[in-house]
A and B are shown apart, each in its own frame.
Chain A
């Protein structure tokens, strides 16, 4: 016999059990969310912690005497000839003059190592090439300090480690400190990181070519994947006959979205490079490969957006004598628009983060020039991160994290834009 009264002892016991179940579920939910937030916070703190210092860098403002006897002993002002002049000698002279008391050859070499050798010579070469009239003058130029000095002054190279175990000598530390006091070395905003392409020297390496490459890849991927993805979705949803064959296609598109991206890279390597003979490392091929990667995502998002539109709207249009195509394109598609755009932006954000397929088609190349078109070699932001993370020197770790921060900011911006766009378009209904 069961007691059905709500206040009986058995009923209260059941109630307590039910409440307990709910309470445990809430605790689990909070624990799960707490865990997710902690993981996110950990990721952000560790990346921002190592990366934020890279947005500033130590530069030296030095006086260079561009003496004619060194650069143009034959008196030439031909820019092409001046390219090959001995700028290293100019930089050396300037560096030695900072501490005239140094005479020992090895010590002189260490002194020269305070500045970024190729940074300074390249800069002088470029300036003279642009304006040969500078020869014979003495000019003030700001050049990056060497990566070791930069790391030392940022505190990453510990002064209390044994001299034999660090790349900066005690003498160099003393010079760097003196120069800092004299105001020769100053920390400034790191334009190099954003304006330069990749380089062998960490203090000269930047993400410019990777960012431009990524933008080109995304544009190509979007231009290809958006019309194909949306078109396929509209056709499958609205016009295709419902039979075994279209079911099969549907399953395959859903599977395609879950295929590991490296497989698309191999496909691109086999089809675009080997079969069609397109060049390696170019954004055009990268974009084509990522278009394959993203189009199933766009198709799936579009189909779910189309299915979310109330069928009564299409019925209304049809009942007025609109053709099926008119009903779909004039009434249904505009309503599905926000969902389609959101899905596409999230798809593009995925594409921005893709690394593996780009490695397969050779976008992992060391590119020291900013690409001007989609058929010039380039690299992409995530690939650049991969490349830098592989390098040993301390300065690369900092730059890797800085590049990751830039990538994350772009991703957050894209996803935020998707949410904003959806809310805005939905309000207009």
Chain B
């Protein structure tokens, strides 16, 4: 079944250095276009670093270097002629801690469309904001207080607002860096239900510390350890019949 889905990202020998320290030692992986890919592994294994190579957020870190090849739909995203600003419009990101702008809910969602000049009229922008909030499953909760500050929402709502903000730019990929780690179980459940809906439209890559979450939301799972990709396979296979002993040890709680 997975064979019918085309590949979104093709990574070959991806290495990331922070100064002299090599954080990733040559990763080869093909991320499918639809569905959820989960990155798991113990702290410091490089999974977040790897996630941030897909929208070149590592560029903002001093002394960080990425080598190897990452192709998105066959195009090299580290090509010199490619502006990371345009890449990031196609590859949205949700962070560990909800980070809505300290502005109104409306302005949060409208920020991306505004800087990219995506809408030509106020009505169009209103529509886009509503559509994005609806897709993020937040519309019914905030439709009466769009003018209120985004930081006044609960943690789970803030995280969904951030997702709505990312969706508004109409990306193809959404990267999620431990999106539920600051949320309570109920908000987490809502977020996971949202991820389930979004995966029909977007390529989602999620980094998570919770193996249960990876098992619940993802279609494919990649296990990282000490800067290496140990195993990458369908999620049910990884969690029921891993091919590698270290994966086995990690998911059963013996390491990490």
Contacts and interface: CB of A to CB of B under 8 A. Distances in A.
Interface of A: 242, 310, 312-324, 326, 330-331, 335, 429
A384 B92 CA distance: 62
B96 to A, nearest CB: 9
Contacts of B169: 320-321
29 contacts: A242-B62, A313-B102, A314-B60, A315-B57, A315-B60, A315-B93, A316-B95, A316-B101, A317-B111, A318-B60, A319-B55, A319-B57, A319-B88, A319-B166, A320-B88, A320-B89, A320-B92, A320-B112, A320-B165, A320-B166, A321-B112, A322-B112, A322-B115, A324-B60, A326-B115, A330-B111, A335-B102, A429-B149, A429-B151
A316 B151 contact: no
Interface in B96-128: 97, 99-102, 111-112, 115-116
A331 B57 contact: no
Contacts of B62: 242
Interface of B: 55, 57, 60, 62, 85-89, 92-93, 95, 97, 99-102, 111-112, 115-116, 149, 151, 162, 165-166, 169
Nearest to A429: B102
A312 B151 CA distance: 13
B57 A312 contact: no
Instruction: Give the 5 A-B CB pairs with smallest separation, nearest first.
Output: A321-B89, A319-B93, A312-B99, A320-B112, A321-B88
A313 B101 contact: yes
A214 to B, nearest CB: 37
B251 to A, nearest CB: 30
B115 A320 contact: yes
Q: Is the interface of A mostly helix, strand, loop or mixed?
A: helix
Contacts of A313: 99, 101-102
Contact of A319 (B92, B102, B115, B116): B92
Nearest to B162: A316
Contacts of B115: 320-322, 326, 330
A384 to B, nearest CB: 45
A242 B63 CA distance: 10
Nearest to A319: B93
Given A320-B88, A320-B166, A321-B86, A315 B116 contact: no
Nearest to B111: A320
Nearest to B59: A318
Contacts of A310: 99
Q: Which of B62, B92, B115 has the most CB of A within 10 A?
A: B115
A316 B99 CA distance: 7
A313 to B, nearest CB: 6
Contacts of B165: 316, 320
A377 to B, nearest CB: 48
Contacts of B86: 321
A36 B57 CA distance: 50
Given A312-B95, A429-B149, A429-B151, A318 B88 contact: yes
Contacts of A316: 95, 99-101, 162, 165
A320 B94 CA distance: 10
Contacts of B99: 310, 312-313, 315-316
A310 B97 CA distance: 11
A318 B57 contact: yes
B132 to A, nearest CB: 12
A323 B85 contact: yes
A240 to B, nearest CB: 12
B57 A322 contact: no
Contacts of B92: 319-320
Contacts of A319: 55, 57, 88, 92-93, 95, 166
A429 B111 CA distance: 17
Nearest to B83: A323
A312 B33 CA distance: 27
Contacts of A335: 102
A416 B111 CA distance: 35
A326 B85 CA distance: 11
Contacts of A242: 62
Contacts of B151: 429
A247 to B, nearest CB: 13
Given A313-B101, A315-B57, A326-B115, A321 B95 contact: no
A412 to B, nearest CB: 31
Q: Which of B85, B95, B162, B166 has the most CB of A within 10 A?
A: B85
Contacts of A318: 57, 60, 88
A243 to B, nearest CB: 10
A322 B62 CA distance: 19
Contacts of A322: 85, 111-112, 115
A323 B83 CA distance: 10
Contacts of A312: 95, 97, 99
Nearest to B89: A321
A313 B99 CA distance: 6
Nearest to B88: A321
